[in-house]
Structure 1
Amino acid sequence: MVSVGTSEVARVGRPPKAARDMARERIIAVATELFSGRGFAGTSMEQVASKCGAGKDTVYRRFPSKVALFESVVEDAHKNAVARLELMPTVTGDPLTRLESLVRQLLRVNMEPDMIALKRIAFSEAVVFEKGGPIPPQPDPIMAKLVEAVESAQEDGALCPGNASEIAGHLIHCMVAMPTGAAMMGSNEFGSPAAVDAHFDKTWTWLMNGLKQL
């Protein structure tokens, strides 16, 4: 009778969770690269599998469709943005200074080429999604962090009273959505870090002049 070691038994059946997680991460990384470079329509599940060095069945076991894969790519990009904000060095100073630092970092993260490419695809291909496009999970932790920063600045007397969520939404629209929207449409107006910073400095100044306590 031949004995079978525990390491051999472990290889029978489904792979361990760590291996499955690594396979998923590899698929997401490759899909992000392909979707960003070729667009949604120009990327196939076969291409993803081939570039991963995996079988097509392996990809489909984790992502039942190309739409499901793209939704996961967008969700992972959003999670990565949240993680990067969490790793930001602690900004010292008053609440308004901390708010400014948070919004500036949000702008920089959202203006990265991969993020712009994924947003462009999500909007241009929204017709294939039942809900009009993949969206971050709600409540959005990035917005929650921004609302909290606005409330702290209000409590400090640096911003006018008002609905903190609405103020946060206007900040995102003016400071982040405008330049990212232009980039998604192919504009080079904000094509350099210096141009992005110039937009931030100019827009932040006039926004704060309107929101500061009189």
Structure 2
Amino acid sequence: MRKTTGSGGRHSVAATEELDRNILSVATAEFLQKGYSATSVDRICQIIGCSKPTIYRRYHSKQGLFKAVVRNQFQSLFHTVQNTDVSSTGPRAALKELVRRQLDFCLEQKFLGTYRILVADNQYIPDVINSMFSEIAQPFQQKIEDLLRPILHDPDSHDFNERLKFLAANLYGLITQWPMTQALMGREPFSSSEQRQKHLDFCWESVLKLLE
């Protein structure tokens, strides 16, 4: 067990973990309010009451700190992908549930705010965007493909993999593109939970026709 000391010595484990959470919380608020380019690490330090080396020992750079913020914001989607279980429901029902959760996630304010920054400041953070694509987007796309594979017809056809990738990409866009665009413009895409469910059901029926 690690030994800790009182005030004037090394931070206790609990204090270190609290500082880590505080850095991430303050950085998230600053990035979401100001965007990437306008956010100052000095300002984050001032709010927290710590030094820049304290932050850079953990994240090495401003871009590294922002990457940690984005990763933290996307954790719920990552867990959804990892925990989608087909053993009890089958791939078709699991796929519908996965895209429903994806729609919910895409309309959360934390996702919309992060997405706006990734688009607006993309020229400053290409490494962050590439990292998020490999850590989040690709696994999600792969999960959709894995669920589509056993329910797509003609698995032995020469263009099966091409059709599989096409359907996976379009399934995501069909269900999320319009509501997400509305939300990014500050509009409420659905006036009620019933309207949201109708949208999901209509899109799902369209997908089923493509699978025939």
TM-score when scaled to structure 1? 0.74
Counterpart among 48, 52, 72 of residue 56 in structure 1? 52
Q: Are 2:33 and 1:34 equivalent residues in the alignment?
A: no
1:123 and 2:122 matched: no
Letter matched to residue 205 of structure 2: T
CA distance, structure 2, for counterparts of residue 75 and residue 104 of structure 1: 21
Q: Which residue of 2 aligns with 1:105?
A: 101
On the 8 A contact 2:145/2:165 being kept in 1, the answer is yes
Q: Across the two proteins, how many residue pairs are aligned to each other?
A: 204
Gap change, CA 1:185 and 1:22, over 3 Å in 2 = same
Name the structure with the higher helix share. Answer: 2
1:149 corresponds in structure 2 to 147
Partner secondary structure for residue 205 of structure 2? helix
Matches of 2:211 and 2:124, distance apart in 1: 43
Contact kept, 8 Å, 1:123 with 1:133, in 2: the verdict is no
* Distance in structure 2 (CA, Å) of the matches to 1:45 and 1:78: 22
- Residue of structure 2 equivalent to 1:167: 167
Write the distance in 2 (CA, Å) between the matches of 1:194 and 1:55: 50
| 1:93 equivalent in alignment to 2:89 | yes
Distance in 2 separating the partners of 1:151 and 1:192: 33
> Aligned partner of 1:212: which letter?
L
Give the percent of matched residue pairs that are identical in Structure 1 and Structure 2.
24
Judge which range, 28-37 or 126-135, deviates more: 126-135
Q: CA deviation at 1:118?
A: 0.3
Whether the 8 Å contact between 2:27 and 2:69 is mirrored in structure 1 is yes
Displacement of 1:149 = 0.9
**Taking structure 1 as reference, are residues 61 and 195 closer, same or farther at Cα in structure 2, changes over 3 Å only?**
farther
- In structure 2, relative to structure 1, the CA distance for the partners of 1:191 and 1:112 (3 Å cut) is farther
How has the CA–CA distance of structure 1 residues 191 and 74 changed in structure 2, closer, same or farther, with 3 Å as cutoff?
A: farther
RMSD between superposed Cα atoms in Å: 3.6
Task: Report the AA paired with residue 129 of structure 1.
Answer: I
* Distance in 2 (alpha carbons) for counterparts of 1:156 and 1:22: 54
Query: CA offset at residue 170 of structure 1?
Result: 1.0
TM-score by length of 2: 0.74
Give 1:22 deviation, angstroms: 5.0
**Superimposed CA distance per residue, residues 144-202 of structure 1 (whole angstroms, 9 cap, x where no aligned partner):** 22211111322799xxx833222111111111234223322333334765544332222
Deviation at 1:40, TM superposition (A): 2.6
Matching residue of 1:136 = 132
Letter in 1 for 2:140: I
Inter-partner Cα distance in structure 2 for 1:95 and 1:193: 25
Which whole-Å CA distance do the structure 2 matches of 1:61 and 1:179 have between them?
A: 40
Kindly indicate whether residue 180 of structure 2 is the aligned counterpart of residue 184 of structure 1.
Answer: no
Per-residue CA shift, 1:25-83, capped at 9, x if unaligned?
Answer: 43223222332233334432133223434333312322333332222211232333212
Q: Supply the distance in 2 between the matched residues of 1:128 and 1:191 (Cα, whole angstroms).
A: 36
Quote the Cα distance in structure 1 between the aligned partners of 2:84 and 2:99. Answer: 12
Find the counterpart in structure 2 of residue 3 from structure 1: none
Which segments of 5 or more consecutive residues in structure 1 lack a partner in the other structure?
Answer: 1-5
Q: Distance in 2 between matches of 1:150 and 1:21?
A: 41
